[in-house]
Amino acid sequence: MTEGILHRSFLDLHELMARREISSVDVTRATLERVQRLDPDVGAYLLVTEEQALAQAVEADRAYAEDRANALTGIPFALKDIISTLGIRTTCGSRILENYVPVYQGQVAGRLLESGAVLIGKTNMDEFAMGSSTEHSGFFPTRNPWDRDRVPGGSSGGSAAAVSAGMAAFALGTDTGGSIRQPASLCGVVGLKPTYGRVSRYGLVAFASSLDQIGPIARSVPEVAAVLGVIAGHDPHDSTTLRAEVPDYRAGLTGEVRGLRIGVPKEYFPDTLESGVAAAVSQGLASLESLGAHLVDISLPMTDAALSCYYIVAPSEAMSNLARYDGVRYGLREQAADVWTLFDRTRERGFGAEVKRRILVGAYALSKGYYEAYYVKALEVRALVQRDFEAAFQQVDVIAGPTSPTTAFRLGERLDDPLSMYLADAFTLPANMAGICGVSVPCGLAGGLPVGLQILGPKLGEQTILRVADAYERSAGFNVLVPPLTFGAPA
């Protein structure tokens, strides 16, 4: 079987498997071979679960033979290594969890495995999802399959790169400030951040609990819709999940956007926006207009404030969420004569610089004397960011603009300047602050690198944004952007 099949939609693969024209074992084996060939140059995976994958593929083929398969059965996928998997090491990209093996199954991992999807492995990420380039992985950076001197974005860079390079049909990422949409944009794939509470966080290693959300990354909108349908829904283990019914997301992909009002916020087109990005996004918007949608100029005045707000709220929650990594119950332990020194040394050695930075900022913002000025103020501004969007969605159905202000930047380029790294999320993190949904869909290339069009919708507006993204994807004519892989051993 040729590897070419690995860039086809998994919905097609599912049809082929249902007709017994290919088997899950074939597809899984081909995927594993591709990983073996390409990943030494990409570094998308932290762990490849080859043996389990083949066993699952055999089981999936049996499911097809017995007519109990669904669209995900037998499909190779990857999980960001922040999503707990029973019996499979889950490091969160951190040395502090290098040898941690969960003894319980996370909710989404469970749902996907029960649907018969085949887990290829766990993908690389910025440590504890703190970063926008995957360079902050505690193990190694991931490279962008489009240009290996450039970052894949982050923090779900491993997931986006794996999907982009055909090393998984789909992957799950997590998005706290843009960590699904931004790497999807930089790697030329589709990435969806669902509404806060749409997908269970039970088993998701927490970074910033009020912002974190798991979502799918795939090469096309219908595939993203199919995965969302499986992972979305209420979970009694996560008190923040929504009780709303899960619609048939794929059925909503009608290709129809006539009469739809698309808000274009002026704040998302600043002077500093890369010209190539601006051009590709404008072209994308123009094609939506030509499909019958109305473009409406809007303003989201809290866009800049959202960034400042994010860098208080997220580190504060992270400071608390990461306090449990103390070397007592699991994970790394540095030896010491007393427990306090043990804590200090374990955390000194186990956490990278970016994680430490954010923990300390969080402690600062929450400490006596600063709490009101920083944390409380940030929560108030967060409410204003929400109002910004609520007001906008009175006027328009969706909001569209660039996902990232730039295309993929060079490895190392922003490593020494945390603030410039943070700016990579300027257009994505307001959605997290407001708890709304957003999707990034490829809208062409700039300088040979992918550009993403971001479409934001109100809470539980997944159907609408997916419909817009799908309509655009169909009209754009490049259903899938395939990176011109110039590396790896010959097939």
Window 167 to 196, contacts with other proteins (CB under 8 A): none
CB 268 within 8 A of CB 303: yes
Nearer to other proteins, 257 or 429 (CB): 429
Q: Which of residues 405-424 bind other proteins (CB under 8 A)?
A: 418-419
Q: Which of residues 53-72 bind other proteins (CB under 8 A)?
A: none
Indicate which single residue of 351, 389, 393, 427 sits in contact with other proteins (rule: CB under 8 A).
351
When asked if residue 251 is in the footprint of other proteins (CB under 8 A), the reply is no
Indicate which single residue of 201, 219, 250, 467 sits in contact with other proteins (rule: CB under 8 A).
201
Q: Which of residues 216-245 bind other proteins (CB under 8 A)?
A: 236-240
| Cα–Cα distances in angstroms (integers) from residue 32 to residues 39, 166, 308, 309, in the given order | 10, 10, 42, 42
Nearer to other proteins, 250 or 382 (CB): 382
What is d(CA 13, CA 329) in angstroms, rounded to the nearest whole number?
43
What is d(CA 471, CA 287) in angstroms, rounded to the nearest whole number?
10
277: number of Cβ within 10 Å: 25
Q: Which of residues 82-121 bind other proteins (CB under 8 A)?
A: 83-84, 90, 92, 97, 99-104, 106
Nearer to other proteins, 239 or 394 (CB): 239
Task: Confirm whether 179 is a catalytic residue.
Answer: yes
Indicate which single residue of 36, 58, 256, 330 sits in contact with other proteins (rule: CB under 8 A).
330
What is d(CA 79, CA 168) in angstroms, rounded to the nearest whole number?
10
Task: Confirm whether 155 is a catalytic residue.
Answer: yes
Q: Burial of 41 by CB count in 10 Å (0-12 exposed, 13-18 middle, 19+ buried)? A: middle
Going across the sheet that includes 76-80, the strands are: 45-48, 118-123, 76-80, 170-174, 214-218, 190-193, 437-446, 449-457, 398-402, 261-265, 294-298
360: number of Cβ within 10 Å: 12
Q: Candidates 158-166, 257-265, 370-378, 473-481 — which segment interacts with other proteins by CB under 8 A?
A: 370-378
Indicate which single residue of 1, 65, 286, 339 sits in contact with other proteins (rule: CB under 8 A).
339
Provide the token pair at 125.
Answer: 């990420």
Contacts with other proteins, 18-57, as mask; x by CB under 8 A: ----------------------------------------
Task: Confirm whether 377 is a catalytic residue.
Answer: no
When asked if residue 305 is in the footprint of other proteins (CB under 8 A), the reply is yes
Provide the token pair at 490.
Answer: 């010959």
Contacts with other proteins, 69-88, as mask; x by CB under 8 A: --------------xx----
Specify the 3-state DSSP secondary structure of 446.
strand
In the block, tokens 């020194």 appear at 341
Nearer to other proteins, 148 or 333 (CB): 333
- Which positions are catalytic? 80, 155, 179
